Structure 1
Amino acid sequence: MNAFECAENAEEVFILSDSFSRIKELIDNDSSTIDDIADIIILDPTLSITILKLANSSFFNYPGKIETISKAVLVLGITEVYNLIIAYFITDAFKSIDGDPEYLESFWEQAVDCALIIKFLGTELNVPNAERLFILGLLHNIGELAVHQSMPTKIEACNTFTSAELPWDKQKSEIGFTYAECSGDLLKLWQLPYTLIEPIRDQDQYDFEFATVETKLLYLSKRAMLLNYSCKKHKPSSLISAEILADLKVNPKMILAANHFCNVDRLSILSILSPGSSVIF
Structure 2
Amino acid sequence: MTADDYVEQASEIFVLSDSFIRIRELIDDEASTIDDISEVILLDPALAGTVLKLANSPFFNYPGKIDTISKAVLVLGITEVYNLVIAYFTTEAFKKINANQAYLDDFWIKSIDCALLMKFLGTSLGIVHAERLFILGLLHNLGELVVHQLTLEKHTACESNDINLLPWHKQQDILGFTFGECSAGLLKEWQLPYNIFAAIRDQDIDDLSQYNVETQLLYIAKRVMSKNQVFKGQSLDYSSLVTKEQLELLCLDKNMLENAVDYCDLERLSLLAILNPRASMLY
Interval containing the TM-score (normalised by the shorter chain): over 0.9
Is 1:238 the counterpart of 2:240? The answer is: yes
- Please tell me the residue identity of whatever aligns with 1:127: I
For normalisation by structure 2, the TM-score amounts to: 0.96
Contact 2:160 2:166 in 1 (8 A): no
For residues 97-138 of structure 1, give each alpha carbon's deviation from its aligned partner in whole angstroms, at most 9, with x where no partner exists.
Answer: 111111111100000000000100000110111000000000
Determine the C-alpha separation between the residues in 1 that align with 2:149 and 2:239.
Answer: 33
Measure the CA separation in 2 of the matches of 1:176 and 1:235: 29
* 2:209 and 2:249 in contact (8 A); partners too: no
Shift of 1:241: 2.0
8 Å contact from structure 2 (residues 116, 264) kept in 1:
yes
Contact kept? 1:91, 1:273, Cα under 8 Å? yes
- Separation of aligned partners in 1, 2:80 and 2:195: 13
1:224 aligned partner = 224
Residue aligning to 2:271: 269
- 2:214 alignment partner in structure 1: 214
- Give 1:45's aligned amino acid: P
Q: Deviations over 1:185-221 (max 9, x none)?
A: 0000000000101110000001223200000000000
Question: Which residue of structure 1 aligns with residue 177 of structure 2?
Answer: 177
Alignment match of 2:262 (pick from 255, 260, 263)? 260
1:138 lines up with 2:133 in the alignment: no
Alpha-carbon distance, 1:73 to partner: 0.0
Of the structure 1 ranges 52-61 and 165-174, higher mean CA displacement relative to structure 2 is found in 165-174
Superposition map of 1:198-213 within 5 A:
198-213=198-213
Secondary structure, aligned partner of 2:271: helix
Q: Deviations over 1:251-274 (max 9, x none)?
A: 111111111111111111011012
What is the distance in 1 between the residues matched to 2:162 and 2:279?
Answer: 28
Hey, what does 2:124 align to over in structure 1? 124
Q: Is the 8 A contact 1:161 1:170 kept in 2?
A: no
Report the more deviating stretch, 9-18 or 227-236. Answer: 227-236
Q: Map residues 136-175 of structure 1 onto 2, 5 A cutoff.
A: 136-175=136-175
Instruction: Please tell me whether the aligned partners of residues 180 and 203 of structure 2 are also in contact (alpha carbons under 8 angstroms).
Output: yes
**Structure 2 contact 118–133 (Cα < 8 Å) conserved:** yes
Structural mapping, 1:192-203, within 5 Å: 192-203=192-203
**Matches of 1:39 and 1:229 in 2, distance apart?**
40
Given that residues 17 and 89 in structure 1 are in contact (C-alpha distance below 8 angstroms), is that contact kept between their aligned partners in structure 2?
A: yes
RMSD of aligned Cα (Å): 1.3
Which amino acid is 1:258 matched to? A
SS of structure 1 residue aligned to 2:209: coil
Write the letter of the residue equivalent to 2:146. A
Q: 1:115 touches 1:135 (CA, 8 Å); kept in 2?
A: yes
Structure 1 stretches of 4+ moved >4 Å: none
Corresponding residue number in structure 2 for 1:93? 93
The residue aligned with 1:36 is 36
Q: Which has the higher mean CA deviation after the structures are superposed, 227-236 or 206-215?
A: 227-236
Instruction: Give distance in 1, aligned partners of 2:160 and 2:229.
Output: 12
Identity of aligned residues (%): 56
- Matches of 1:127 and 1:251 in 2, distance apart? 17
Matched-pair contact (CA < 8 Å) for 1:101–1:279? no
3-state DSSP of counterpart to 2:163: coil
- Work out the CA distance in 1 between the residues paired with 2:279 and 2:5: 28
**Structure ranking higher on relative contact order (CA contacts 8 Å, 6+ apart):** 1
Tell me, what secondary structure is at the counterpart of 1:15? coil
Deviation at 1:95, TM superposition (A): 0.8
- Match runs of 1:12-23 below 5 Å: 12-23=12-23
- Cα distance between partner residues in 2 of 1:235 and 1:159: 21
Letter in 2 for 1:263: D
Q: How far apart, CA to CA, are the structure 1 residues paired with 2:16 and 2:156?
A: 27
Residue matched to 2:63: 63
* 1:12-65, Cα deviation, whole Å (9 max, x unpaired): 101100110011000110111111110111101000000000000000000000
Unpaired runs of 5+ residues, structure 1, are: none
- Measured after TM superposition, the shift of residue 7 of structure 1 is 1.3
Distance 1:54 1:65 in 2: 12
**Which whole-Å deviations, capped at 9, do the CAs of 1:61-111 have from their partners, x for residues lacking one?**
000000000000000000000000000001100011111111111100000
Q: Which amino acid is the alignment partner of residue 270 of structure 1?
A: L
